[in-house]
Amino acid sequence: MKAAAQEDKQLIASIGLGDEAALQVLLRKYSPHLCQFADSILHRHDLAQEAVANVFITLWQRREILHIKTNVRAYLFTAACHHSLKLHRSQIHAGDISIDEVPAGEFMRKTAADSELQYREFADAVESMLKTLPTECQQVFRMNCFENLRYKDIACALGISVSVVQKHMTHARRKIAAALPDWSDFINKDWLSR
């Protein structure tokens, strides 16, 4: 992973010096993934391709002043998101899409925003449930599920054994699952089933 990130940094440095071949390598490497990502936002492949093209056009135009503070992959996906949203807004304002062009069922299609709203509701329900658990159990659960710490790291930070961390997590998961049966889809996902 580090080698790929280092290679990406070298490509950006070469692009900064005007190397079109480096831009082509970066484009071939990330374009398919960025198009797929943009398509998930725009739900139109043609607009997704346009958004990704805009990412690389902007990258080339700003090559001499470009300073990427995160890793290149994160930068490109963030740029693709911004360009996709910009295109989406322009399509809405331009009235480019008539209601007859929208496929049947598209109005009911779940979007990332729907999932985010459901996740927030779920997180609020979990937070309320957590308040009923013992303090150390709450702390262990938060450190694992919200801060993504491993059991070993939690045990070290709290000065308890890994088996105690495991017991707290098992207790918390069971209590949450029992108290929130309407959220079983979220509880069974990776977020709680580590």
**First-last CA distance in the chain:** 23
- In the structure encoding, which two tokens stand for residue 7, read together? 């290679």
Model pLDDT, residue 194: 43
For residue 192, the model assigns a pLDDT of: 45
Provide the mean pLDDT of the chain: 79
Domain at 112-187: CATH code: 1.10.10.10
Mean pLDDT, residues 140-159? 83
Mean pLDDT to the nearest integer, 28-51: 89
Q: What is the CATH number of domain 2-98?
A: 1.10.1740.10
Which is nearest to 180 in space by CA: 144, 105, 113, 130? 130
Looking at the chain, the number of H-run helices and the number of E-run strands are: 9, 0
Domain boundaries, the chain: 2-98, 112-187
Task: Answer with the residue of higher pLDDT: 161 or 182.
Answer: 161
Given this model, what pLDDT does residue 176 score? 79
Determine contact, residues 122/183, Cβ cutoff 8 Å: yes
Q: Which two tokens stand for residue 81?
A: 């998101």
Q: Write the pLDDT tens digit of every residue in 71-115.
A: 888 888 888 888 888 887 777 655 545 555 555 555 444 455 555
Radius of gyration, alpha carbons of the chain = 22
pLDDT band at 185 (very low <50, low <70, confident <90, very high): low
Q: Which residue is it, tokens 């911004």?
A: 82
Q: Which pLDDT does position 113 carry in this prediction? A: 53
pTM, two decimals, is 0.48
Comparing 97 with 62, which gets the higher pLDDT?
62
Provide the pLDDT for residue 71. Answer: 85
Q: Residue 96: how many CB atoms within 10 A of its CB?
A: 10
pLDDT value at 54 more than 60: yes
